[in-house]
Amino acid sequence: MSTKVVFCWSNISGYMAACWRALHLLPDIDVFVIAFQARTQTAFSDQLMQGIPCRLLNLQERQEANLVKSLVLAESPDVVILSGWFHQPYRHLAFASELSHTALIMGMDTPWWGTWKQHLTRWILHSFLQRMDRVVVSGERSWQYASHLGISPAKIVRGLYGIDYNAWFSLWEQRLHTSWPRSFLFVGRYVSAKAIDLLAEAYQLYRSQVSDPWKLVCCGQGPLSSQLQGQPGIDNCGFLQPTEMQKIWQAAGAFLLPSRFDPWPLALVEAAAAGLPIVCTDACGSAVEVIRPGYNGLMIPKDNLEALAKALLILHQRYGDLSTWGKRSQQLAAPYAADIWASRWRELIHDLILDKTSQVKHKQ
């Protein structure tokens, strides 16, 4: 008999679709996903969810708590997984009497910064957090936050996210068929949090220091798009669906993510899986897991123009090491493969069901 698992998620993505699909392929896990419908042409396409039982909510539906609850109850779930506490209709599920015997898991990727708002969260969400049977965190920084929220270490599990590792793995070897590309790649939203303005300025500073500058390819969309337009050496490709990105990744020589704030960017993990050296700031949460400075990339302070320009110059000067750095990146990304993610979650779900059953018997 299979275990019914319902994910209540926010936006769909290529990496989560790969993970859900891998979990659903396991014979003893029955997956159903409730998530937000793609709203614009610059969102991940709903077609990503092909083959995954799901219900995608439009703008109005996602705010209707009764609808969300009815969709969950219709699946008669053994386990309900919530994507954090930010969405009120999902948060209400923790208090639904009809789900009192259902195991509840919350995911979180927010890092611990020690702000007063984070300290307050522990008290504001106390009753909600107490209802969680497990909290799955993305990495060490979010583990720290979960601990500060008063969640027992026995309830905290690492490994919230995974990626379609097999889709990226061959790219490193493909680059070796010709000379390693002399180009930088940025993938992300064109917003202040991603420091797209600083990237454009640092890139121009780098160009002024070399006679044969590499180009900078940017893929994304956002209000700061104008920062990239008409800039020497910058190729703005706009937003592309995952299926359109393979050639872009293959043609890249190194990946850049100069974020000012980025809880646990999957782009770093995907870039590592693609076999790229990486430059990122210490504001990128996933850097803790997939970046080893001087081994497969460089980590720099956020909001530091000179440090970012110097990092580009270092990659330029160490061109002969980039393929080796890229191979090391793949090794660090390997634990996040979707099939490994699915196995990890399967074990978590089965252990939780056993615990829940044991608790019920004990109360009787």
Sorted by sequence, the CB contacts under 8 Å of residue 108 that are 6+ apart come out as 84, 85, 135, 136, 137, 138, 142, 145, 146, 160
Strands (E), the chain: 3-11, 29-36, 54-57, 79-82, 103-108, 134-137, 156-158, 183-187, 215-219, 234-238, 254-257, 278-281, 297-300
Report the largest interatomic distance among the alpha carbons of the chain, rounded to a whole angstrom. 77
Residues 335, 249: Cα–Cα separation, whole Å: 20
- Burial environment of residue 82 by CB neighbours within 10 A (0 to 12, 13 to 18, 19 or more): buried
Instruction: Please name the residue that has the structure tokens 């611990």.
Output: 112
CATH architecture of 165-335: 3-Layer(aba) Sandwich (3.40)
Helices (H), 297-337: 305-317, 322-333
CATH architecture of 3-162+337-363: 3-Layer(aba) Sandwich (3.40)
Distances (CA, A) of 319 to 135, 211, 287, 334: 42, 15, 22, 24
DSSP one-letter code for 253 = S
Half-sphere exposure of 123 (CA within 13 A, CB side): 4
Which of 282, 248, 244 shows the shortest CA–CA distance to 265?
282
Q: Do the beta carbons of residue 14 and residue 22 sit within 8 Å? A: no
The whole-number pLDDT of residue 240 equals: 85
Q: Do the beta carbons of residue 258 and residue 280 sit within 8 Å? A: yes
Q: Give the type of residue at 238.
A: G
Predicted TM-score of the model (pTM): 0.92
The whole-number pLDDT of residue 241 equals: 77
Per-residue pLDDT of the chain (364 residues; tens, 9 = 90+): 799 999 999 999 889 999 999 999 999 999 999 999 876 444 556 778 989 999 999 999 999 999 999 999 999 999 999 999 999 999 999 999 999 999 999 999 999 988 999 999 999 999 999 999 999 999 999 999 999 999 999 999 999 999 999 999 999 999 999 999 999 999 999 999 999 999 999 999 999 999 999 999 999 999 999 999 889 999 999 988 777 888 999 999 999 999 999 999 999 999 999 999 999 999 999 999 999 999 999 999 999 999 999 999 999 999 999 999 999 999 999 999 999 999 999 999 999 998 877 665 666 5
Q: Count how many residues are written for the chain.
A: 364
Buried b (16+ CB within 10 A) or exposed e, 158-179: ebbbbbbbebbbebbeebeeee
Q: Residue 29 pairs with which residues in a beta bridge?
A: 3
Q: Where in the chain is the domain with CATH 3.40.50.2000?
A: 3-162+337-363, 165-335
Q: Give the type of residue at 136.
A: V
